[in-house]
C-alpha cells in the first residue's frame, strides 16, 4: 500500500481513496501476456497501455514482426523496461512511456487524433478517480461511454468513478 514519493501528490489529487489503497502495481507475467495476446489479430502495429507500470504487458502483447510502436502511460515515473527472456521483436520497435495521471492526461489524445490498433489494459483496481477530471467522457462519440459515465456506482462517492471503469471508457 505504499506510494512512490515521486508521485505521492499526484496520487492524492487523482483518487479520493489513494491514501487507503496506496499504489499497487501488478506485473503481468510474460507467459500470461503472451497467452492473452495470442487471441489478438496479428495486425497490431501500435499498442497502448494507459497504466503500464514497467511495460511488461505492452512487450508481451507485441507481435514479433508487426508491432512497431509501444506507448505506455503511468503516474509512476519509473521507466518501462524490455523484459528479460523476450523473443526477438520487430527491428524498428520503439517503446515510449510518458509519466502522467491518465485520469487527467487522457484528453491530450483528442486534439491530435491519437488512435491505436490495440490497447492492453490492466487498470488500477478500485481507485476512486475524481469525476471532474473525466468530465469530457460525457461528450464522447461512443454512446456506451456517455451512458456509463452518467451512471453511479454505489460503492464510490458521487464525485468519483471507479478507475477500472474509467480506464475502459478512456480506451473506447
Q: Can you give the pTM of this predicted structure?
A: 0.85
Mean pLDDT of 1-23: 74
Residue 136 in grid coordinates: 469530457
pLDDT for residue 118 is more than 70 = yes
Question: What are the beta bridge partners of residue 49?
Answer: 72
Least confident of 22-36, 48-62, 74-88, 149-163: 22-36
Looking at residue 18, its pLDDT comes to: 76
Q: Reduce the secondary structure of 68-82 to three states and give it as a string.
A: CEEEEEECCCCCCCC
Looking at residue 59, its pLDDT comes to: 94
Q: Is 96 exposed, middle or buried (0-12, 13-18, 19+ CB in 10 A)?
A: exposed
Mean pLDDT of 155-161: 95
pLDDT for residue 120 is more than 70 = yes
Mean pLDDT of 139-149: 95
Mean pLDDT score of the chain = 88
Looking at residue 22, its pLDDT comes to: 67
Q: Which residues lie closer than 8 Å to 117 by C-beta, 6 or more apart?
A: 43, 44, 45, 46, 47
What 3-state class would DSSP assign to 49? strand
Looking at residue 24, its pLDDT comes to: 67
Residue range 82-95, pLDDT digits in tens: 888 888 888 899 99
* DSSP character string of 86-149: PPP--TT-EEEEEE--HHHHGGGGTTTT---SEE---PPSS-EEEGGGGGGGGG-SSHHHHHHH
Amino acid at each position: 500500500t505504499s506510494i512512490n514519493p515521486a508521485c505521492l501528490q499526484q496520487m492524492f489529487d487523482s483518487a479520493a481513496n489513494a491514501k487507503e489503497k496506496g499504489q499497487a502495481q501488478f506485473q503481468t507475467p510474460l507467459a500470461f501476456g503472451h497467452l492473452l495476446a495470442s487471441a489478438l489479430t496479428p495486425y497490431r502495429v501500435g499498442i497502448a497501455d494507459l497504466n503500464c507500470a514497467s511495460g511488461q504487458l505492452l512487450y508481451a502483447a507485441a507481435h514479433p514482426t508487426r508491432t512497431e510502436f509501444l506507448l505506455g502511460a503511468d503516474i509512476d515515473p519509473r521507466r518501462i523496461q524490455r523484459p528479460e527472456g523476450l523473443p526477438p521483436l520487430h527491428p524498428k520497435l520503439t517503446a515510449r512511456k510518458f509519466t502522467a495521471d491518465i485520469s487527467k492526461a487522457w484528453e491530450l489524445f483528442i486534439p491530435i487524433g491519437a488512435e491505436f490498433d490495440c490497447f492492453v489494459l490492466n487498470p488500477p483496481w478500485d481507485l476512486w478517480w475524481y469525476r471532474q477530471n473525466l468530465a469530457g467522457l460525457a461528450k464522447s462519440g461512443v454512446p456506451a461511454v456517455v451512458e456509463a459515465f452518467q451512471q453511479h456506482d454505489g460503492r464510490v462517492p458521487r464525485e468519483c468513478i471507479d478507475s477500472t471503469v474509467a480506464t475502459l471508457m478512456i480506451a473506447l
